[in-house]
Amino acid sequence: MFRNKNILIGITGGIAAYKILELIRLYKKNNANVKVIMTENATNFVTPLTIRTLSNNPVYTKQFEVDNLFPEHISLGSWADIFVIAPASANTIGKIANGICDNLLTSIACAFSKQIIVAPAMNCEMWNNQFVQDNINKLQKAGYEILSPEAGFLACGTSGVGRLCAIEKICAATYEHLKYKNQKLKNKKIVITAGGTRENLDPVRYLGNHSSGKMGVALANEAYNLGADVILINTFNHKAEYKTIDVSSALEMKSAVEAEKQDADCIIMAAAVADFRIKNQNEQKIKKDDNDETLTIELIKNPDILYEISQSKNENQIIVGFCAESENLIENAKTKINKKQCDYLIANDISRKDIGFSSDENEVYILDKKLNIKKIDKAQKSVIAEKILEYIYGEN
């Protein structure tokens, strides 16, 4: 989610400072690099040692503690992709809004040319103070994003608007600002399939599989965040900012892929497409016959979409297949990429209960035509998607 992103956090003096420990943990869990600056008053609520332990980086508190040629308010500002001030006290908000730079945090804010997010937290009467609201308006007009405090019981014993907003809201706002920073796939059309196809037996029953579509959605989200024109062909209802096409059966998926294939730069077949379909689909519900202990259903092969698009691909197209195996993962994957003739094959072990179907995590191997193999260790599917696209399109 935040892989290779540098997030600078500014903590000011307030009881909500302890909540930022969870924000740091959440950023780090999603692969961000985190550095923290604290005002002197903030150190009365949480210790720099705790922050340093969680962030795995030094904690900055003094205006002129420098170990290099550049003052900290310049070097930290250059390092960071985004600056998040939380909790933001009325005092610090007033200083920033009026250009006062009497500590490291306010000096960085004054010199910072990228996005700043401010999450205020204070007593409800302070929040409603006209001067505080005037300062908030100044920051908003200057391009700061203000994550307004929430209503609830406050540390001072009263109730009202003043509580720091949810940590998840701060994390989501950070992501929204950072997700468009790297546009390496801009002007590339990427078609991705997701989910398990359904082959109807009758109007009630179908032949299907356990695929949740989470890996395909993760790839679509990451490709979109990298600037690609994404087409997601999926077997479930999924609302997104990019184009989605709903299909059900393998034949419907084949038609949708073929319709989008011609001008696609890359096609990623992450869907679990049924190998067989019902030969004679019943238009009415099949009734149970009490005299029969068995039911015979004749199946016929579905078209091999991955093989067909690999055979007919344009010169510069990239075709990526997926391989779900319950045994002999690498051997079967090598056989499959030779047979399908796609450019890359993503192999994962569906026998493991901690990854794969319906899980939010995965562990995969990427194979290319020369049978080079790269392992991506177990991680969130969003991270797996990021690393797959990095591998296909290069690290830079």
E-only strand ranges, 285-381: 299-301, 318-325, 344-349, 361-368, 373-380
Closest CA to 220 of 278, 260, 274, 168: 260
User: Given 156, 171, 323, 342, which residue is catalytic?
Assistant: 156
Measured between alpha carbons, how far is 9 from 389 in angstroms, rounded to an integer? Answer: 29
Contacts of 319 (CB under 8 A, 6+ apart): 266, 267, 269, 306, 309, 310, 313, 342, 343, 344
Measured between alpha carbons, how far is 188 from 249 in angstroms, rounded to an integer? Answer: 27
* 160 Ramachandran zone, left/alpha/beta (phi>0; psi -120 to 50): left
* Beta partners for residue 8, in sequence order: 35, 83
With beta carbons less than 8 A apart as the criterion, state whether 81 and 37 touch.
Answer: no
Measured between alpha carbons, how far is 199 from 219 in angstroms, rounded to an integer? Answer: 25
- Residue 83 has phi, psi (to 5 degrees) of -120, 120
Measured between alpha carbons, how far is 384 from 214 in angstroms, rounded to an integer? Answer: 11
Pairing of strands 145-146, 116-120: parallel
DSSP letters for 52-109: HHHHTS-EE--TT--SSSS-HHHHHHHH-SEEEEEEEPHHHHHHHHTT---SHHHHHH
Measured between alpha carbons, how far is 358 from 257 in angstroms, rounded to an integer? Answer: 24
Radius of gyration of the chain (CA): 27
At 191 the three-state DSSP class reads strand
266 tagged catalytic = no
Catalytic residues: 156
